[in-house]
Amino acid sequence: MSIFKAYDIRGIVPDQLDEALAYKIGRAYVTFLKCDRVVVGRDARASADAMFEALARGLNDQGADVIDIGRSDTPMLYFAARNEPAAIMITASHNPPAYNGFKMCRENSIPISGDTGIKDMEKIVLEESFAVAARKGAIIKKDALEEFASFTRSFARLDGGRKLKVVVDGANGACGYTYPKIFEGMNIEYIPLYMEPDGTFPNHEANPLLEENLVDIKKKVLETGADLGAAIDGDADRCMFIDERGETVRADVAGAIIARDLLKTSPGAAVLYDLRSTMAAAEDIETYGGRPVMCRVGHAFIKRQMREHDAVFASELSGHFYFKAHNFTESSAIALICMLNLMAETSKKLSELAAPVLRYSHSGEINFEVADKDAVLKKLEEKYGAAGRVFHLDGLSVELDGWRFNVRASNTEPLLRLNLEAADVESMELKKAEVVAIIEGN
């Protein structure tokens, strides 16, 4: 399988991605984008420095200066690149230690996806059809941490409120470079867990979507009597919340809560929610004075749609939280701060804020390996299409009397993903069994 993927370039080092290929990718990037400056950051992985050196040589040889912000997380890279023509983050996000890769942006941190440049760069690399460089670029060191931390802290409204206790599990990822500075001196009791950057991820995988990676933070929340926990992924662009009871708060529920906080200062603004989210998300956005807009899955699509609607915020079931003030990009730290703001101002526990959003019964995301994805989607539409509202924003979505579902093909894996919601648990389980039987061909 090609390392040139739908949202980034990513592969196993050195089997799929080595320094020679990284050098060519740097040259292809400048050839494609025709940029003269590129901000580059890198996460905690062992191969990060070698990948940087090779990529930077390619960028320089192709005529672009490299603005080197050093070890960082992805939100810091997006911040540092907000007024720059191009940016690359060296990361493989939540993947195992052997992986590395490149998240690529054009001007204003706008992502480059498979459809908007990654496949073009793959072709340039394969053909070695690099443009002739008029000059050789240089490497310019830049310390962006202080300014980034100050900007992120500016979202906090915690002075004078109750002092909340929060456990942050950094999974030994890149947030260990930024979170200590961001939360330094903030009016909270900050309890770090696995915050030392270590690209081998010695304690657990840096993927907070998997419940087995949340065991330690849940235990720590209960042991310390913390008000909440935040589990961060490898490059700190995703966050999953844990309530005071040690229970996971689904990201669509967390997104509805965060939207409530942001709408206090942005009344009437558009707020995006991904089409897998609970029906309560759209209802609550409207209740708190926002304009709910459904969006498809995937950060490149969401960021484009946010700009089209000038949306103040967007959330995704995968734990990505996007902010207009952060150049329409993700920030796990701002998401955590917004959650803390609302908890401090309402004097409510996280479970109490979440409970009203959980008024419907949600299946969670269920994955299926199927031989013919299109045939399955067609069969589902034939079964349910006449009885409900059908749309194809991303895969097949059907809204029926008292329940609804979405089935979509994964952009990153050979899977179909089902999300289903109904008015109560009994109805949800009944309808889930019905839809699953069709997907599995029973």
pLDDT digits 0-9 by tens, 417-430: 999 999 999 999 99
Q: Which residue bears the tokens 């708060």?
A: 249
Domain ranges of the chain: 9-144, 163-247, 250-349, 361-439
Per-residue pLDDT band for 206 (boundaries 50, 70, 90) equals very high
How confident is the model over 222-253, as pLDDT tens digits?
999 999 999 999 999 999 999 999 999 999 99
Asked if 241 and 230 touch (Cβ cutoff 8 Å), the reply is yes
pLDDT computed for residue 438 by the predictor? 95
pLDDT computed for residue 339 by the predictor? 98
Q: How far is Cα 156 from Cα 141, in angstroms, rounded to an integer?
A: 29
- 361-439 falls under which CATH superfamily? Alpha-D-phosphohexomutase, C-terminal domain (3.30.310.50)
Q: How far is Cα 353 from Cα 351, in angstroms, rounded to an integer?
A: 5
Q: What average pLDDT score do residues 354-366 get?
A: 95
What tokens appear for 159 in the block? 């002075």
DSSP secondary structure, 211-251, as one string: GGGSHHHHHHHHHHT-SEEEEE-TTSS-EEEE-TTS-EEPH
Asked if 179 and 195 touch (Cβ cutoff 8 Å), the reply is yes
Architecture of the domain made up of 163-247: 3-Layer(aba) Sandwich (3.40)
Secondary-structure class of domain 250-349 per CATH: alpha beta
pLDDT at 161 over 80: no
Percent pLDDT > 70 in the chain is 99
Per-residue pLDDT band for 162 (boundaries 50, 70, 90) equals confident
Check if 93 is active-site.
yes
For residue 10, the cross-strand partners are 101
* Fold observed for domain 9-144: Alpha-D-Glucose-1,6-Bisphosphate; Chain A, domain 3 (3.40.120)
Q: Which of 83, 76, 72, 88 is nearest to 32 (CA)?
A: 88
How confident is the model over 124-137, as pLDDT tens digits?
999 999 999 989 99
pLDDT computed for residue 442 by the predictor? 60
Q: What average pLDDT score do residues 17-32 get?
A: 98
Q: What average pLDDT score do residues 353-369 get?
A: 95
Q: How far is Cα 300 from Cα 320, in angstroms, rounded to an integer?
A: 12
Is 163-247 in the same CATH topology as 9-144? Answer: yes
Q: How far is Cα 25 from Cα 118, in angstroms, rounded to an integer?
A: 10
pLDDT computed for residue 340 by the predictor? 97
Instruction: Give the 3-state secondary structure of residue 71.
Output: strand
pLDDT at 411 over 80: no
pLDDT computed for residue 412 by the predictor? 67
The total of other beta-carbon atoms located within 10 Å of residue 303's CB is 24
Question: Mean pLDDT for the chain?
Answer: 96
Q: What average pLDDT score do residues 283-307 get?
A: 95
| Among 93, 113, 331, 361, the one annotated catalytic | 93
pLDDT computed for residue 1 by the predictor? 44
